[in-house]
Structure 1
Amino acid sequence: MKSTLHRLAFTALGMMLTGAALAQTNTSGLPSTLAWSAYDVGSGGYNQAVAIGNALKQKYGINLRVLPGKNDVSRTLPIREGQVQFSANGVGGSYMAQEGIYEFGAKNWGPQPVRALLLNNSDQILSVIAAKDAGIKTIADMKGKRVAWVIGAPSLNQNITAILAFANLTWNDVKKVEFGGFGAALDGLINNQADVAFTSSISGKAYQLAKSPRGANYPIIAHSDKEGWKRLQALAPFFFPFNGTEGADLSPTQPAESASYPYPVLMTYAKQDPKLVKDMTQAMLATFDEYKSAAPGNVGWALDRQKFGWVIPYHEGAVAVFKEKGVWTAEHESNNNMLIKRQTVLADTWKQVQSRKHADDQAFAKDWMESRAAALTKAGMDPVLKSW
């Protein structure tokens, strides 16, 4: 009897160990270790990447190393240099990198051949957040207030530029306060060094501000103000009107009338191995149920929330997945091909500008922006790209 119990016990233990081993079997096709760059620690993008890493670990035994970056350049550089395979990036490291504008118009950058895998379109907002005690209820109320400027982060700064334009304001109408990173900018609000900063409503820092003595609120960007929206989208065409219901001090019964765009953007470069991209995309979709509730905003990674007509092309490896799932249309293919052609026009023009002599960096930048606009116009493309 005792030996029989021992055998049953060992059999049960063996089954448990086998089950555990099977749970850790890597059937994804992905390497055992992956690396992503992401936004700073405490941001919504970083928290999501960590949650996704946990799901990959549980389902496939894959280790995901998340490299935080303070700005667009520091998040995109590791992809360019091959230090990470993918990035949970923003519009700066995707759209602006593609276009070769702002920091990406510097001589050591230029237009980048970026590609998307998946876009996160959650119920959060990507907009300005204000300390409640600053009394900023609308964008017009930002006049004269202290506004955070993040060094080396063109997406954050240009986003605020566009939002200011909504109310016919510029940086000359506010007090610019410089910070070294996204996290530092939000800390600046908490510490009463600034009154307004750009954020994701689901970032850890937004929650910290809301719980701080200063409190938080989202200045209204009225959806009915059509002229305001024309001014905003002329500078930041990737924005769209949105009622945010997820994030600090937000809920379905307490929404914010504001603006948003996809964030994060899981992206890579065109040169990345199509099989690796396909396997990564499939793994993201296969583990969705495991991570969708593990961090604020993760629901936005769902396949049915993708915007296939956004402003950067999808990688061929990701497109293969979408075609297999029957969600990729001829219209999507046409738009993707147009965006890839646009990148070719930009890259060719950049080479021409680089081949010419310039008196200084300012002359180089002027030549690039003028040549860029002329080349895109000649190719039948709008210099300011708009999504559909």
Structure 2
Amino acid sequence: MQVAKKNDPLTFWENRENYMKTGFKFGVAVSGLVTMTAFGAWAQDLPKTMVWTSYDVGSAGYAEASAIADAFGKEFGTRVRIQPSGSGIGRLQPLLQGRADYAFLATEAFFVAEGAFDFATRDWGPRELRAVAGRPAGITLIAAGDAGIENVEDARGKRIAFVAGNPSVNVKCEAILAFGGLTLDDVEVVTFPTYGSAMASMTRNESDATCTTPTTSQLYELAESPRGIHYAPLEADNAAGWEGLLKVLPIMSPSDEDVAAGLEEGEIAKMAAYRYPVITTTAEKSADDVYAFIKSLDESYELYKNGTATMSRWTLEKSGKPAIDVPFHEGAIRYLKEKGIWTKEDDAWNEKRIARMDALLAAWEEFLPQNEALSDEEFSQAWMARRAELVSGLN
């Protein structure tokens, strides 16, 4: 059991220097606007200004977007405005409405591409997105050290923090609970309005556990607090556990994580692997623009690779490979091929993923007019059933 305790809890924003020692190193993008004046040569075709969306301030996704934006400013003079949001819908709407160039997403990229869960509504449905790159990440049930949750099954009857309008957190947590043979009926779901408030809720003793990436800043606060922190293990050899998890969310796999808040040097936490954050854009985005972006991401790597404890995983050999939530953008693939990273097997994966997305989009266009008379709840249930049927046939 990995438990870290100290007598005096620290707040992240008041003690950023301490957190820098654990890997969180922020540039000047504290308020979401990165402006640099000292820079080298401009990257060809990289815009002078860009807008990105990300998770809340204090999240790993915001920290990493900020570090990359800082590097873009220093290296290319590009000004990046980061729009943080605690909900997947809040991160997606600016992108889909053309008000943001890129979005640093979590699993909502997969959900919106499938029209699943919170996106199984008349106003949403499947949307066509493309990935630029995505860092490998780990996730498990993360508990306060004094909550009595040694393993996932111990979460029965405990308070589990969910985030309103955020299936990326909530469905992964539901899947992880299934690893321990639990459903949402077996726990007390406590829903918070934002990601940041949910992640900080354990430190405030408003919840006992949640599911997120283990380097989110609020978890460092939890590890430093009197409650401490513990990672419920997702052992790779627990076949029944993984069968239950993958029935809920079939995009994860076993992972050994060695970078996590409160984890002692040399320790390993058994988690599930996914991609977070995933740099995502629209399919209509110019291939030249995306090529320039991923090229700049690659060329400025040395400037941001130490921005957080896990940012070294943004090397394109790791972040530019399938599997990922949505198909890769053709502009990204062009650069990855030039670098010798993209393979024929990757092409095959991408073509299969595009075919799945195209099938869902076609099914949605057929489904909408046929189900106009249904109530909102009936509509969502009917689409999720149609989607499951379609996906089963594709596999």
Tell me the TM-score normalized by structure 1.
0.89
Matching residue of 2:74: 58
- Runs of at least 5 residues in structure 2 that lack an aligned partner in the other structure: 1-35
3-state secondary structure, aligned to 1:66: strand
Task: Please give the per-residue CA displacement for 1:73-93, whole angstroms capped at 9, x wherever unaligned.
Answer: 11111110111110110011x
Contact persistence 1:165–1:231 (CA under 8 A): yes
Matching residue of 1:308: 322
- Deviation at residue 310 of structure 1 after TM alignment: 3.1
Matching residue of 1:118: 133
Aligned with 1:86 (options 83, 94, 102): 102
Shifted more, 335-344 versus 249-258: the winner is: 249-258
Contact persistence 1:311–1:339 (CA under 8 A): no
How far apart are the structure 2 equivalents of 1:21 and 1:140?
53
How far apart are the structure 2 equivalents of 1:370 and 1:164?
22
- Does 1:254 find its partner at 2:270? no
What pairs with 1:1-388 in structure 2 (closer than 5 Å)? 23-92=39-108, 94-121=109-136, 125-306=138-319, 307-356=321-370, 357-377=372-392, 380-382=393-395
* Structure 2 letter corresponding to 1:342: R
* Structure 2 letter corresponding to 1:45: G
Contact persistence 2:48–2:78 (CA under 8 A): yes
* Structure 2 letter corresponding to 1:91: T
How far apart are the structure 1 equivalents of 2:264 and 2:301?
22
3-state secondary structure, aligned to 1:184: helix
Task: Please give the per-residue CA displacement for 1:271-314, whole angstroms capped at 9, x wherever unaligned.
Answer: 11111111111100111111000222111111121332334210
Shifted more, 33-42 versus 322-331: the winner is: 322-331
How far apart are the structure 1 equivalents of 2:159 and 2:39?
51
* Structure 2 letter corresponding to 1:58: K
Contact persistence 2:163–2:198 (CA under 8 A): yes
- Deviation at residue 71 of structure 1 after TM alignment: 1.2
* Structure 2 letter corresponding to 1:314: F
How far apart are the structure 1 equivalents of 2:231 and 2:37?
48
- Deviation at residue 146 of structure 1 after TM alignment: 0.5
- Runs of at least 5 residues in structure 1 that lack an aligned partner in the other structure: 1-19, 383-388
* Structure 1 letter corresponding to 2:258: T
Task: Please give the per-residue CA displacement for 1:142-179, whole angstroms capped at 9, x wherever unaligned.
Answer: 11110012110011111111111111101111111110
3-state secondary structure, aligned to 2:256: strand
How far apart are the structure 2 equivalents of 1:65 and 1:303?
24
- Deviation at residue 251 of structure 1 after TM alignment: 4.7
Shifted more, 74-83 versus 358-367: the winner is: 358-367
Greater Rg, structure 1 or structure 2?
1
Summarize the Cα distance change of 1:107–1:300 in structure 2 as closer, same or farther, 3 Å threshold.
same
Summarize the Cα distance change of 1:292–1:251 in structure 2 as closer, same or farther, 3 Å threshold.
farther
Summarize the Cα distance change of 1:22–1:327 in structure 2 as closer, same or farther, 3 Å threshold.
same
User: Which of the two has greater helix per residue?
Assistant: 1
Count of residues in Structure 1 that have an aligned counterpart in Structure 2 = 358
3-state secondary structure, aligned to 2:290: helix
Please tell me the root mean square deviation across aligned C-alpha atoms, in Å: 1.6
3-state secondary structure, aligned to 1:178: strand
* Structure 2 letter corresponding to 1:218: Y
Tell me the TM-score normalized by structure 2.
0.87
- Greater RCO structure (CA 8 Å; 6+ sep): 2
- Deviation at residue 22 of structure 1 after TM alignment: 8.6
How far apart are the structure 1 equivalents of 2:236 and 2:339?
34
3-state secondary structure, aligned to 1:224: coil
- Deviation at residue 270 of structure 1 after TM alignment: 0.5
